[in-house]
Amino acid sequence: MTASPVLLEPTIVGPGFGPASVAGDTLVIREWSDSGPSYLHIHHSDDEAWHVLEGRLRFRFRHGEVDAAAGTTVFVPAGLAHAYRVTEPSRYLIFLTPRLDRLIARLRSLEDRSQLRSTLAEFDTELVE
């Protein structure tokens, strides 16, 4: 007996459908407007990318800062310390792995900040400062 083939369908999000939020087995895309963590951190096993739709984000790295205006894409490979924040009202897409998506969800629900380092470590992420 052979298994039936799985029917795969694309997810298409266009104007007027609200913020984009798509999650697959290996890639997650979220549309956000809030700042990321202010602390430098390293994802040891996961790449991450942002595409600014409106406004401006400021990325901080060990070697300095970079402003990313609308239309800019920033790719941060695994192993590169980074942090980012919104510097004016913004809308952006963040492209991340399911592991990082789960990490962010956990961090948003974290009530005890003393658990920050151990929570990051569970997701192969390290606090740099």
Look at residue 4 and tell me if it is in a domain: no
pLDDT tens track for 10-56: 888 877 777 788 899 999 999 999 999 899 999 999 999 999 999 99
Contact present, 20 and 13 (Cβ < 8 Å): yes
Whether the predicted pLDDT of 84 surpasses 80: yes
Number of domains composing the chain: 1
| CATH number for position 81 | 2.60.120.10
Residue 11: its pLDDT value, please? 81
Q: For residues 18 and 113, what is the distance between their CA atoms, to the nearest angstrom? A: 32
Residue 44: its pLDDT value, please? 98
The alpha carbon of residue 110 and the mean position of all alpha carbons in its chain are separated, in whole angstroms, by 17
57 by Cβ neighbours in 10 Å (0-12 / 13-18 / 19+) ranks as buried
* For range 62-67, the mean pLDDT: 96
Q: For residues 87 and 38, what is the distance between their CA atoms, to the nearest angstrom? A: 12
Which residues constitute the domain of residue 85? 21-127
Q: Specify the pTM.
A: 0.88
Look at residue 6 and tell me if it is in a domain: no
Contact present, 110 and 116 (Cβ < 8 Å): yes
